[in-house]
């Protein structure tokens, strides 16, 4: 049975983050109730973000905000009891390889221990869960094969992916013991596009910033592949699941574009006049493409937003806000330290001779 007209109640951990804040806007537009739970660890401007989220709430759906840490089991439990959600969208984890590698103990605490407790509580209260793992778990591909959900994963060296896989294993065991616990795990491609809490360091967003601000996209490993998806289409995928309200598998890839860094850069170059330069290796060795046919076929999901159209939106926002971004040292918009951001933006480069100005 299609649940498109049913009004849901969404409890979003990391609700003031990149994905959660935009999901809240779309949920409220559809008349669903939303509770945002966030620690504001990235010093987000909650007043501005809540104003943007509320602006589209034409149906006067319920919107609540709780400042809270996912490690605060008592507050999470009390909040879930009070709000009584039909779904928990669990996004409240550290979400950058840099942050996780530099803070391994904190990563284990938040991305593993706290996440396990949240799933335990959801199971106890019979709450459905949507959880994001990551396509980064596919690591460094040695060939041009599209990675599928059932593929054997390579050894993982970074803490971000390590705890994503540990959470996947925890969920598998939990569902095996209790098949009535409803949880779906996504392995999303790199997400890009606009959101109330924009993340400028994500690869396509980062490259677009360089094109607009520096007139030069600095790229290491031009031929390394990445999967990517516009954030608007990721949310469309979420709502496909919610409307159908059932799924056949536990883990799904979700994405749209499989391109190498050179192709990502040249797509931006079609929108923003800039050069493309070769930069030194910054230590990010990921090289992957993903097969999303399982999710696409089961949920009749067909992402179709052209890459250049997504880039045009991001470029327009960056052009409009460039002075403020740089004057405030990218406050709110980075999930990495400012000095590391400057390092990857200011690497010495050599011009790639095959590129047009």
Helix (H) or strand (E) holding 18: helix 18-29
pLDDT band at 284 (very low <50, low <70, confident <90, very high): low
At 348 the pLDDT is: 44
Please say whether the beta carbons of 228 and 284 come within 8 A.
Answer: no
Tokens representing 264 are: 């990502």
Q: Measure the CA–CA gap between 195 and 197, rounded to whole angstroms.
A: 5
Structural domains present in the chain = 9-351 (3.40.50.720)
Q: Measure the CA–CA gap between 341 and 67, rounded to whole angstroms.
A: 27
pLDDT band at 3 (very low <50, low <70, confident <90, very high): low
At 56 the pLDDT is: 85
Quickly count: other Cβ atoms within 10 Å of residue 326's Cβ.
11
Work out the average pLDDT over 283-301: 91
Q: Measure the CA–CA gap between 77 and 70, rounded to whole angstroms.
A: 10
Q: Is the pLDDT of residue 305 over 90?
A: yes
Work out the average pLDDT over 76-93: 99
What CA–CA distances, in Å, run from 351 to 84, 204, 215? 56, 19, 12
- Give the global pTM: 0.94
Cross-strand pairs, 251: 185
Nearest to 173 by CA among 120, 136, 109, 122: 120
| pLDDT tens digits along 165-200 | 999 999 999 999 999 999 999 999 999 999 999 999
Handedness of CA 339, 344, 350, 356 (dihedral sign): negative
Q: Measure the CA–CA gap between 172 and 47, rounded to whole angstroms.
A: 38
What CA–CA distances, in Å, run from 102 to 14, 110, 336, 340? 20, 14, 10, 12
Tokens representing 166 are: 């540990």
The side-by-side arrangement of strands in the sheet containing 350-351 is 216-219, 275-278, 350-351
| pLDDT tens digits along 127-159 | 999 999 999 999 888 787 899 999 999 888 799
Handedness of CA 84, 85, 86, 92 (dihedral sign): negative
At 344 the pLDDT is: 82
Burial class (CB in 10 A: 0-12, 13-18, 19+), 7: middle
């Amino acid at each position: 049975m299609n649940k498109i007209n049913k009004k849901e109640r969404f409890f979003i951990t990391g609700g003031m983050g990149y994905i959660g804040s935009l999901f809240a806007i779309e949920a409220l537009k559809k008349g669903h109730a939303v509770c945002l739970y966030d620690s504001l660890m990235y010093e987000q401007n909650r007043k501005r973000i809540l104003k943007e989220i509320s602006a589209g709430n034409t149906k006067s759906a319920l919107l609540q905000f709780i400042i809270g840490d996912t490690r605060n089991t008592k507050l999470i439990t009390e909040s879930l009891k009070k709000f009584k959600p039909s779904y928990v969208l669990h996004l409240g984890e550290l979400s950058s390889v840099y942050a996780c590698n530099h803070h391994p103990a904190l990563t284990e605490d938040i991305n593993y221990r706290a996440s396990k407790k949240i799933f335990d509580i959801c199971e106890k209260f019979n709450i459905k869960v949507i959880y994001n793992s990551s396509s980064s778990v596919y690591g460094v591909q040695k060939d041009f094969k599209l990675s599928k959900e059932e593929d054997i994963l390579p050894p993982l060296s970074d803490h971000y992916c390590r705890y994503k896989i540990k959470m996947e294993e925890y969920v598998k065991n939990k569902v095996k013991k209790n098949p009535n616990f409803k949880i779906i795990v996504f392995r999303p491609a790199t997400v890009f596009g606009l959101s109330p809490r924009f993340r400028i360091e994500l690869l396509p967003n980062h490259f677009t910033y360089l094109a607009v601000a520096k007139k030069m996209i600095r790229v290491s490993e031009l031929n390394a592949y990445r999967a990517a998806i516009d954030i608007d289409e990721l949310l469309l995928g979420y709502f496909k699941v919610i409307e159908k309200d059932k799924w056949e598998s536990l883990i799904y890839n979700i994405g749209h574009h499989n391109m190498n860094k050179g192709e990502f850069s040249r797509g931006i170059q079609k929108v923003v006049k800039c050069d493309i330069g070769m930069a030194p290796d910054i230590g990010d060795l990921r090289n992957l493409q993903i097969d999303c046919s399982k999710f696409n076929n089961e949920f009749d999901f067909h992402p179709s937003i052209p890459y250049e159209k997504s880039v045009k939106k991001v470029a327009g926002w960056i052009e409009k806000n460039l002075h403020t971004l740089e004057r405030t040292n990218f406050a709110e918009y980075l999930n990495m330290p400012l000095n590391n951001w400057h390092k990857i933006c200011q690497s010495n480069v050599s011009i790639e001779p095959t590129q047009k100005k």
